[in-house]
Structure 1
Amino acid sequence: MKKKGITFNYCSESEAKEFLKKNNNYFRVSAYRKMYDHYPSGENKGKYRDLDFQYLRELSTIDMHLRFLIIKMCLDIEHYLKIDLLAKAESVNDDGYESIDKFFSDSKYQYIKKNIYYKRNATYCGDLINYCFEFDDDNETISNYSKCRLWDFLECITFGDFLKFYEYYHKEHNIENKYEKLIPSIKSLRNACAHNNCILSQLRKSDCMPNKQISNFISGIYGISPSVRRLRLKSRVIYEIVCLIYVYKELTPETIKKHRFRELNSFVNGRMVKNKQYFENQQIIKSSYSFFKKIIDNI
């Protein structure tokens, strides 16, 4: 790290060693260095500019807290998407059996039978799976699903498989799916957090083309100019987080929403800025934070 220009002015080398032994590892902590520039020339050419180990340590801690909040929001969204689907099933007089039969008759979704087969011994849903399905062990798939009703099925499948079914169900019954273009981004973010990826290390990636719903949502927030909106939403991390916030705002009941947004507000205006002096010279971090804060303050 010292050879790369990382300093130890705010955290001693011995403290850094202890942190890397007991709290994190070099690979993960160093991932956040991507947000820092190198000296382009001179005796320090190629070394990081204004990067102390403590800054990396602080970013890894902020990222951890953010991932925990995101996971909670994603779990809430999964739950209320299922509630939403069941309400729509009632509106089209679905008896709970026919839709499953049609879904499994489609060749595109045969792999989901295998996914359920592999979950048949799961601790928390194995009993329900074994009640609803009969299995063909030779082909590692389902042989009979006549006992499975829609509400059973939703408890037996993964989040990814549920999203496939959610999309299918809307098309099958010609129901508007207003989250269709946003759900893939939420799934991507959920998977990143569930696998404990360092999401803030990707802030500089700007390969995203934002959906019109999200652009319109941000355009209604005071203090965010069109140029800032376009620039910040190019960041895939920021775009996915904004998709999560937007769908959460639209989908969840008022009491749940208020509770979770209070958590977000406390985090953004509290823990996130606890050591803001570390990032005074880092524009990408400051501008991303400012954008995020304006959204949270608005909601």
Structure 2
Amino acid sequence: MKKIKVSTSKLYDSMEKRGITFNNHTKQQAIIIMEHTNYYYKLSSFRKNFEKNKAGKYINCDFENLIDLATIDMHVRNYLLQMSLSIEHFIKTEISRLITVSKIENGYDIVYEYEQRYTDYFDATMDKFEMTRYQKDMLKKRGQDLPIWVLMEHMDYSALCKLVTLYYFKYNKVLSLEKAHNLMISSRYIRNACAHNSTFILEWFNHSHMIKNNPSGIKSTIIDLELIQYRKYAKVNDMVATFILLKSYASEGTIQHFYTSGKDLLKRWKNYHTYENIPKIKKMYDILEKLVDFLEK
């Protein structure tokens, strides 16, 4: 059944009825924020991180908290997206290195194999290549006879996952691509969620968002980080995979950059509110802190 559209004023009233307080904002100020700075659906979603009392109303949830969490969420998404892009770059670098030093691969045959094995991904990559605004000269110069180095420039994360799989098995599970093969699919979910601006610091511990088994090579890290109780939660699994990939493939300078910027992010998380008395938010902070510290080990 479709819900009736309501005004921002009534959305404010609905939040009040749910126990959300407005200790630092008048109704008019809150309405202006929801109409011009951030929209109701995203702001109100962060309320799910707060507990409810027996009457079904949220505890210790103020409108200011929702605004703060929305800002923190933006910083977390930007941080993880930049990390994902770096992982993508360094995995492409490793594939390029492997093919360059290979005495068997010429850089063209692997493209043909990829097209035959993963036709849909190849076609999608070529479609993007043909429609690109700034790099059409790369295609015009080479026509359909493309080397893998050029094709990789236009592969999205999913297409790159397939290339890793192809190369990994073609050469009897090449060791340097093992972690990429095992963990890129998990990392892809983080990359896509952040790239599509999805609310991120939400539903980390929802039992409907759980996985049956962790991918190979991730459990030992989860144990080392003392996150074993969270290992079946999808977002936690995917974040651990992302941090492992960065630490496995990125340069020392890049890893140090994400360690430093991660520390800055954690500092911003606690800049206005500690959320020590909000269990879900505190657990999310603690997990991210352990992952950032993992980059320094």
Q: What's the TM-score, normalizing by structure 1? A: 0.84
Shift of 1:286: 1.0
- Conserved 8 A contact 1:129-1:156: no
Does 2:219 match 1:210?
no
- Conserved 8 A contact 2:204-2:234: yes
1:58-77 to structure 2, matched below 5 A, reads 58-77=68-87
Give the letter aligned to residue 273 of structure 2: K
Give the letter aligned to residue 268 of structure 2: R
Cα pair distance change 1:289/1:111, threshold 3 Å: closer
Give the letter aligned to residue 16 of structure 1: A
Give the letter aligned to residue 64 of structure 2: Q
Cα deviations across residues 253-281 of structure 1 (Å, max 9, x unaligned)?
Answer: 1112112211111211x10111234x232
- CA distance in structure 2 between the aligned counterparts of 1:162 and 1:257, rounded to whole angstroms: 21
After superposing on structure 2, the runs of 4+ consecutive aligned residues of structure 1 that deviate more than 6 Å are none
Cα pair distance change 1:294/1:105, threshold 3 Å: closer
User: Which residue is 1:185 aligned to?
Assistant: 186
User: Which residue is 1:171 aligned to?
Assistant: 169
SS at match of 1:113: helix
Shift of 1:149: 0.7
Cα pair distance change 1:170/1:55, threshold 3 Å: same
Cα pair distance change 1:11/1:241, threshold 3 Å: farther
Does 2:279 match 1:275?
no
Shift of 1:242: 1.8
User: Which residue is 1:136 aligned to?
Assistant: none
- Conserved 8 A contact 1:35-1:201: yes
Cα deviations across residues 101-138 of structure 1 (Å, max 9, x unaligned)?
Answer: 222233x42452244125412112333234334xxxxx
Please point out which of 29, 35, 40 is paired with 1:26. 40
Does 2:269 match 1:259?
no
Give the letter aligned to residue 9 of structure 1: N
Does 2:13 match 1:16?
no
Please point out which of 224, 232, 235 is paired with 2:233. 235
- CA distance in structure 1 between the aligned counterparts of 2:260 and 2:96, rounded to whole angstroms: 28
Please point out which of 96, 100, 106 is paired with 1:95. 106
User: Which residue is 1:54 aligned to?
Assistant: 64
Cα pair distance change 1:114/1:183, threshold 3 Å: closer
User: Which residue is 1:81 aligned to?
Assistant: 91
Cα pair distance change 1:293/1:118, threshold 3 Å: closer
Cα pair distance change 1:239/1:105, threshold 3 Å: closer
- CA distance in structure 2 between the aligned counterparts of 1:256 and 1:52, rounded to whole angstroms: 38
Give the letter aligned to residue 240 of structure 1: D
Please point out which of 158, 161, 186 is paired with 1:160. 158
- Conserved 8 A contact 2:73-2:201: yes
- Conserved 8 A contact 2:72-2:269: yes
- CA distance in structure 1 between the aligned counterparts of 2:27 and 2:276, rounded to whole angstroms: 23
- Conserved 8 A contact 1:128-1:156: no
- Conserved 8 A contact 1:200-1:237: no
Shift of 1:37: 2.5
Shift of 1:231: 2.1
Query: Structure 1: which 5+ residue stretches go unaligned?
Result: 134-144
Shift of 1:83: 0.5
SS at match of 2:197: coil
Give the letter aligned to residue 269 of structure 2: M
Cα pair distance change 1:114/1:248, threshold 3 Å: closer
> How high is the sequence identity, in percent, across the aligned residues?
24
- Conserved 8 A contact 2:81-2:191: yes
